Chains A and B, each alone.
Chain A
């Protein structure tokens, strides 16, 4: 009996040993068992291996420009506080508040997050792109540099928009990969942001290609010339006029760009087809990704239309010969008949796009912009005549009406400035430039031309809000948007623009 019991005990021991071994074995293999990878995406550790992946990621930076509401933001930030836009019946109350200079931090137009999405994409390229060199021998340093240059330039462009819209913004220069990253980043001053933009553009200048071997790519991706155009624009904000002229000349002297003749095909060539000879950089929507403009401008309950003064005072009308038109006005920028914004809706002056064909590009820089930026710099350098010549060249191409001509002496710096601004308004109507043009010129020389901004509210704000708006605009901090409420909540390092506190 005792034997049997011992045997049973042995038995138990053996069995428990087996069980224990089983447990040990299974725990070691458990970690492997629990490691599952997704089937419908690729994880970062497996990405960044080939130059094709790098190319697709760089293309992803551009694709993010099409993400809603990025281009819509660029439009609204650049036009809503200008004097060329009026509210349509479908206008949102947030937008109405901006027109009436009644902005608070709950206003959704102050949400900058979509811009930082593109910045994050660029940062991702800059952080991980160089790794590809290690695993793909067919990738050469110059090709890699080209890609990095595009990322630098796009990041610069985004920060350039942010600094002009919000003034001081946080500079995030590394990619966000995990929840362990520090996202509590304080604002940098507008000056520091501009300097970062300059540094990025200088990097890009040496890296990016001049020619991608295909016209669409040359207009839809960042080329050397696009970088130069951005530099010229930035130099104007930094009051470095010599550098601005030089950057413009780098484009003008290349011989790659001309003004498209102002014939009846001009609108179709430049705006409907896009990627014309005068285009420097365009954000290219396509059939798979439509732009947001159809719902903004084309439907009956449209959110925006052109302000009355755009037709009457800016382009003006030839009362004797109605067919004598500034080609940029009726049937191009807008429809005089109902004041609707037409630039992104037209095929030609007569027929319009279907909703499913609303993929007009967003025009970042055109050759005429380069010419007028150079004119602005030259005027500031004391060469008013050169500026007037450039204006004349633009006006001639556009068949500008005599009624919109301004008689200005070359040494009347303010007069030439006004003329350049008026011509830029006609040339770049609804291309998201108006407010930035006014602000840049207003703030020059310690806000010597604040009148440019004060004049706006008289034509845009509702009468009951006008006085308050003028008072607000006298405070230069009000020229920059507040930081969005939720942003303040999520990033405790941020301090609201004191004007809105």
Chain B
């Protein structure tokens, strides 16, 4: 910039300053530029605009004030008057040649309260910027960060639109409390919990799983606070970790309009091959015959009659229906985002509107979502600033009425027709939904096509979150305060309808035209008051101090009605006069307050300490347990700053971190410390009846997580290699357990209690490297790996210690062993099939037949004497470990453990000539066993469900050598928990591959476009695994210590192809 100034002789008390503004480059005059007198706090005193010739005249109130010259698209210039009366200015454009400028700003971390230079962070934090996620074709941000951060495990509940995600940071710290991390959006906690007393009617909790409902394109960055010292500042809400999300804000500059489009097509990969109608009709009679010894009576079970003279049954039960294909389609998602941002010195804005339209791969599942956001910043003066953020999200989600629709489709008899065919052989167009057939009745079976096409499960939600922030510099540069208040209005309406045409139930049944309408309204107020102290202590010391007060008030109400037997499938509202099944309402309120004191001190840029103490109060506890104190301390020693390291110049940073901290978890239920009296839902002899409804919880207290973390961070070769290594242990004490069995003599069934101590321990490594950097080529590589083990240290004696009845088909045994990791399971060893009668003779260790008292060789038996089943030819053969001729609990062996030894992801990013970029991302898990539950259920030949083609190899005649046992209806022990279904689940998946091309400026400028880029992303292209099931990435639902990693998935994640376009105007 350049200033031309003509000095005046003297400085009068009040002067008028004149001058002309021109563009520095082309020397053209600038019209409409703002010329403002500002005082020492940068508060605007007076202002004028330049005229058509670029001239201005400003009457200065105080000659000591400064003058600011600004125009959108130009750099603002502030000059001292210095007694001049004429000041001519040349302004410089801002957007010129920005691409040549390499921004060298340090990355920062943000715990939602304090922003700290990343290189000074004392805690384990993982972060992603908008660049990292913008190319994913995900509808929600939680999908976007899946697999990208070490120690952060995210798994989808299902692949359907709107399905919730489970986010786990460093394992699950609780058995039964809330397991979702706290989300801090723009510095304020963002509620994701559903009120505990909301009755979900026919929907379930998952249906309401809080979608974050923030458009991914609006996100600036995401950080995950992992260790307890980092989360401790959020105290009682942070036991499961904290996700800090910041949205984009306006920057000084000309209006920037950006349009982002992402269009994704999704396909379900090939389904498990199932039997055709003909193969199925062969299997079932054989299965029954093997059990009863007599052929299936097709006079009574006409589904297998195949008699052309019985026209109705012949027409409707001789099909080869592929039920799975009938409910599956190609999904399509379009995501549009239009944003506008910019601003001047005083005011900046970011506004966006997005629309997401998603058509799921399962028939009848759709999601429509509109989100809008306005982020405004205004600087009243250098001392007073305020911000206003308003976001609104509207979503309209259609889910399957019945989550089982897909598994029913797999099981459904394939010889049955989808539509009813009349005796003349004409398709009537009505769904074929008999009241019952050999597979049973609703809800065990139904017509899945009718259920998905005609059933309804719609939720409509509106969420408005206005957030106001005021910043005041009490002492400029030294003592600052901020005040935040955020309102959260979240209303959801759920409407369900179960059509008679899907269930075939008789008209007076309660499941006929069963309809539900429920409203859940939530209103939250969140406040935060911060005092931030940043004294200047010289060059050697640095200090930031924070005092914060927070409060939260959350109110929720619900009203729901359910009725049935409306006259027609078109009468889908429960208020239509019909049989009322349920009418309920609830209201509930939670409050919490917190005070936090936090400080970070650094000495000589080498020794850094961060300490915090947080006091939490929560209305969910009784007066004596209401307050919780959560301290934390963390340190960083920058070894590279020491003198002895000075010579090692390839090391930019080498630091050792250590931290200790506590955070907590509150229970889901409100009011549990009261003894409540309520009415029975019915009367006795016409009079109301009241009873004591619960047991008052005097002892319930915060579940506390105490975390310890030691970490090493280093940056080498001009920050080209960045590595973070962390070892941690999170110890949860006073573990919550909901529904611990109470002695019946209490008059109550169960109780919520603090029952024990559990550890999550493990390590994580995160590596970012710039492998190559030349003029044309850039290769970046990132890699993360983590391990987490879950161990019970102490548990209430009232907690059960084993689960699983090994003598029941399909069950594995799990034990809860103190000081041993979770996830091990036990069962039998599978040894194929008894090929004939001689094979079933029991043998001793030497292989000699075991002979009974009467001299006759004994047959192999199962669970003698309690069950005493004699194995027959064609039955599954289990290893008789102790050679006693009896398969029982003594033959149970260790089969595997469902906890991966390593999990993580990696991938390179290759840039060519700055505008062509390839990004690969792989995710992996290693060293764990899973139970292929799907295979178990599709090959057990136990019921009348359809089976996979594996059963075509089944044993049928003596002498057959195969490893698939005979078909046996409701009898035998052919599918006991054994290693037959246990498989190694290790995998590497190519999660995404992206090619992005940024169009050269010169090329797009002709179209009036400032910048444009396009990309194409393919997701889930390959999975390298030995696992034979559909998807080895099993999300182990819940945190039951007895859980067995079981893959019940019927379809692997969808394969997606996304096309994207980003255009800036």
Contacts and interface: CB of A to CB of B under 8 A. Distances in A.
- Identify the interface centre among B680, B690, B692, B698: most chain A CB within 10 Å of its CB: B690
A34 B618 contact: yes
Interface in A3-38: 8, 11-12, 15, 19, 23, 26-27, 30-31, 33-38
B474 A15 contact: yes
Contact of B619 (A26, A36, A119): A36
Contact of A170 (B674, B745, B797): B745
Contact of A491 (B691, B745, B747): B745
Given A30-B593, A47-B677, A177-B692, A59 B684 contact: yes
A82 interface: no
A286 B682 CA distance: 9
A178 B690 contact: no
Interface string A287-299: 0110000000000
B746 A62 contact: no
Contacts of A53: 690
B749 interface: yes
24 contacts: A26-B549, A27-B595, A31-B617, A31-B626, A34-B626, A40-B586, A41-B678, A56-B690, A57-B691, A59-B683, A59-B687, A59-B690, A60-B690, A116-B744, A116-B747, A175-B692, A176-B747, A179-B697, A180-B698, A185-B743, A216-B685, A220-B684, A288-B683, A484-B744
Contact of B699 (A57, A180, A183): A180
B798 interface: yes
B55 interface: no
Nearest to A33: B591
A59 B688 contact: yes
Nearest to A288: B682
A167 B682 CA distance: 33
A38 B746 contact: no
A113 interface: yes
B753 A179 contact: yes
B619 A121 contact: no
Contact of B683 (A55, A181, A286): A286
B687 A55 contact: yes
B882 interface: no
A113 B675 contact: no
- Identify the interface centre among A176, A180, A494: most chain B CB within 10 Å of its CB: A176
Interface string B542-559: 000001010100000000
B130 to A, nearest CB: 37
B685 A66 contact: no
B483 to A, nearest CB: 12
Contacts of A43: 674-677
Given A26-B549, A489-B798, 16 more contacts: A34-B617, A34-B618, A38-B676, A41-B693, A42-B677, A43-B676, A44-B676, A47-B690, A56-B690, A59-B690, A64-B689, A112-B744, A170-B743, A289-B681, A490-B741, A494-B743
Contacts of A31: 617, 623, 626
B591 to A, nearest CB: 6
A176 B690 CA distance: 16
Interface of B: 474-475, 479, 531, 547, 549, 551, 585-593, 595, 617-619, 623, 626, 670-671, 674-678, 680-685, 687-693, 695-700, 741-749, 751, 753, 797-798, 800
A490 B751 CA distance: 11
A26 B678 CA distance: 34
Nearest to A47: B677
Contacts of B671: 36-38, 41
- Identify the interface centre among A12, A19, A114, A490: most chain B CB within 10 Å of its CB: A490
A41 B589 CA distance: 13
Nearest to B696: A178
Given A38-B671, A179-B697, A120 B692 contact: yes
A12 B590 contact: no
A36 B590 contact: yes
A396 B235 CA distance: 79
Contacts of A216: 685
B692 A490 contact: no
A484 B741 CA distance: 12
Nearest to B749: A113
A397 interface: no
Given A59-B687, A177-B695, A489-B741, A37 B591 contact: no
A117 interface: yes
B676 A12 contact: no
- Identify the interface centre among B595, B676, B692, B747: most chain A CB within 10 Å of its CB: B747
Contact of B589 (A36, A56, A181): A36
A39 B587 contact: yes
Contact of B479 (A12, A26, A113): A12
- Identify the interface centre among A8, A170, A183: most chain B CB within 10 Å of its CB: A183
B670 A183 contact: no
Interface string A93-134: 000000000000000000111101101110110000000000
A55 B551 CA distance: 42
Contacts of B680: 60, 63-64
B742 A490 contact: yes
A44 B587 contact: no
Chain A, interface size category, equals 35 or more
B691 A63 contact: yes
Nearest to B590: A36
A421 interface: no
Nearest to A102: B866
A243 to B, nearest CB: 29
A116 B746 contact: yes
A286 B591 CA distance: 42
Given A34-B593, A36-B670, A487-B743, A44 B690 contact: no
A26 B547 CA distance: 15
A287 to B, nearest CB: 9
Contacts of B697: 178-179
Nearest to A171: B745
A119 B585 CA distance: 29
A180 B699 CA distance: 7
B1010 to A, nearest CB: 47
Given A62-B684, A66-B684, A217-B685, A117 B747 contact: yes
B568 to A, nearest CB: 22
Nearest to A122: B747
A172 interface: yes
B522 to A, nearest CB: 15
Contacts of A11: 475
A168 to B, nearest CB: 13
B618 A490 contact: no
Nearest to A355: B508
A484 B695 CA distance: 22
Contacts of B693: 41
A500 interface: no
A184 interface: yes
Closest 7 CB pairs of A and B: A120-B747, A113-B744, A63-B689, A491-B743, A289-B682, A288-B682, A60-B691
Interface in A313-366: none
B681 to A, nearest CB: 8
Contacts of B595: 23, 27
A492 interface: yes
Contacts of B617: 30-31, 34
A170 to B, nearest CB: 5
Interface in A175-210: 175-181, 183-185
B675 A35 contact: no
A119 B677 contact: no
A486 interface: yes
Given A44-B692, A55-B687, A492 B676 contact: no
Given A59-B684, A183-B743, A34 B699 contact: no
A12 B475 CA distance: 9
A121 B747 contact: yes
Contact of B744 (A38, A180, A487): A487
B97 to A, nearest CB: 45
Contacts of B677: 41-44, 47, 57
A59 B670 contact: no
